[in-house]
Amino acid sequence: MKAVFERQKFLHAFQAASSVVPSRSARPVLQCVKLGSAGESTVLIGTDLEVAVRVEVEGFQASGGESLVLPSDRFGAILRESSDDQLELESDGRRIVVRGKTSQFQLPSIDPDEYPDVMSFEMDSYHELPLTVFRELTRRTVFATDPESTRYALSGVLLETLEDRLVAVATDGRRLAKQEAAATRVGQQPMPSEPPVIPARVMQLYERILGEEEGVARVAASENDILVRAGRRTIFTRLLEGRFPRWRDVLPRREGTTQIELPVEPFHGAVRQAAIMTDKEHRGVEFRFGEGKVELAAHGGELGESRIELPIGYDGPAKDVKLDPRYVIDFLRVLPPEKTIVLHLSDPNVAVLFATDSFWEGVDVRGDALRCVVIARLPFRVPTEPLEEARVEAIAARGGDPFAEHAVPQAAIKLQQGFGRLIRSRTDRGCVVVLDSRLATKRYGQVFFASLPPARRAVGPARAVLAELEAFFRPDAG
């Protein structure tokens, strides 16, 4: 093989492929990255036999179709330390020569036939979803795994592949994280009989290796392994063996709970402050919610005490709970700081539930991966929720109109957030379809319209609106 390539692009691809290469192995070939071809593409492959990464390389001009095996440490160092924009690579089967303008390196050659075969993504059946959503699915669950566990399969993340969505679940036996994401199922091949459990280190690899890619992620699971492809990168991994706990049996229900809204960034800061006075013998932080504030207190024995107050919107009956601040902090740090979460409380001896408002304050999906948001109903809150009841009673007690003063403005904010799911960058373009006729027929609909950013508006029967949408999405439309 003789080739010329752009050093910086090749370095990024090489680092991705070599991220799974072991530093030590009884098989020296596994400490290398394979450079080969797949059709008209040049591909880099790294593996430790459990996990493999395939990366299609840009800007690589080669003659000769043979494969090369490149030592990960030495070749990676050459790419990092070289100052040349372009490098030349040449092999005669016995040695590999790398040349720059003022440098030359010679490396031993290893028979590429010794390198293990690695699957490529050639599946006809898989789930597809925006890559940004898939990364958030990973990020919001992997923190709850137990990498050192020998029980069940707690060192991995369960990934349920359902007809229209993916559900990721992780637990270490003391806390549980669950995240759902809408996904499109492509093909009709039967799904695995048992949901796959993906090693935690591979879930972290998804976020790190796929972070530079854009567009969609394709996820294909089988009984023993799973393939994920995004852009030019594909990650293969063998699944964990063992049983995953029956997580639905322990997940607290939302019905009948006291619901308390908490701003992520201020609450995160308050918990971190309170946790300063905790140690191995005094782990807990006491939380008291009520009178428009949350009080956090920690008693660290000889370390001292901490007491923090944070104003919040809850002014119902006082609620007390004691939690390990490490688990609360782990959850809060994977969320956008400007968002709001809802704490569901029932009995002090029952597990608490922290939840995000998944659609209205969801993850960002940029570009053509999201071009239409459909909202079935105006997002009024359920009036029988304890927190809503308390707010309604307080407004009514002073002679106000709870619907006009509270229900409508709060729903308008939610609709504005839902509208914001569509436009996440200056170049995004698309439409929001609201199927609730009250937006056009009720007087309070003007409050909702006033909360939305300027946009072309179409109101009318379904056929007329669809015609407007077809015209909007035509390639020649401005």
pLDDT tens figures, 353-398? 998 865 555 545 556 667 788 888 888 876 655 556 767 888 888 8
SS3 50: coil
Task: Decide which of 43 and 367 is more confident.
Answer: 43
Shared domain check, 374 and 351: no
pLDDT of residue 423: 67
Stretch 17-31: mean pLDDT, rounded?
93
Shared domain check, 257 and 216: no
pLDDT of residue 303: 80
Number of residues that make up the chain? 478
- Domain membership flag for residue 120: no
Beta strands 216-221 and 225-230: pairing type? antiparallel
Shared domain check, 259 and 315: yes
- Domain membership flag for residue 42: yes
Q: How far apart are CA 199 and CA 197, in angstroms?
A: 7
Shared domain check, 405 and 433: yes
pLDDT of residue 461: 87
Shared domain check, 149 and 54: no
Shared domain check, 228 and 130: yes
Bridge partners of 213, per DSSP, are none
Residue from 385, 154, 100 nearest 255 by CA? 385
Neighbour-count burial of 144, counting CB atoms closer than 10 A to its CB (0-12 exposed, 13-18 middle, 19+ buried): buried
Which of these three, 295, 330, 356, is where a domain ends? 356
Shared domain check, 242 and 131: yes
Mean pLDDT score across all residues of the chain: 87
Residue at token pair 């992780």: 170
SS3 265: helix
- Domain membership flag for residue 180: yes
Q: Considering its fold, how many domains does the chain have in total? A: 4
In what helix (H) or strand (E) does residue 268 lie, and over which residues does it extend? helix 264-274
Shared domain check, 323 and 272: yes
pLDDT of residue 100: 92
Stretch 452-471: mean pLDDT, rounded?
87
Which of these three, 229, 246, 263, is where a domain ends? 246
Domain CATH code at residue 100: 3.10.150.10
Cα angle, residue 452 at apex, residues 447 and 457 outer, rounded to 5°:
95
- Domain membership flag for residue 58: yes
- Domain membership flag for residue 177: yes
Domain CATH code at residue 427: 3.40.50.300
Shared domain check, 375 and 463: yes
pLDDT of residue 411: 87
- Residue range of the domain that includes 273: 253-356
Which of these three, 217, 246, 275, is where a domain ends? 246
pLDDT of residue 211: 77
Count of C-beta atoms within a 10 Å radius of residue 290: 16
Stretch 228-247: mean pLDDT, rounded?
92
- Domain membership flag for residue 478: no
| DSSP letter for each residue of 343-407 | EEE--TTS--EEEE-TTTT-----GGG--EEEE-S--PPPTTSHHHHHHHHHHHHTT--HIIIII
Q: Is the pLDDT of residue 478 over 60?
A: no
pLDDT tens figures, 142-177? 999 998 877 768 999 999 998 888 999 999 999 999
pLDDT tens figures, 384-438? 555 567 678 888 888 989 899 888 988 888 888 777 767 656 777 888 888 888 9
Shared domain check, 307 and 286: yes
- Domain membership flag for residue 179: yes
Q: Do the beta carbons of residue 198 and residue 141 sit within 8 Å?
A: no
- Domain membership flag for residue 121: no
Shared domain check, 6 and 81: yes
Q: What would the two tokens of residue 112 be?
A: 């590429």
pLDDT of residue 364: 52
Q: How far apart are CA 108 and CA 95, in angstroms?
A: 5
Q: Is the pLDDT of residue 231 over 80?
A: yes
Shared domain check, 241 and 258: no
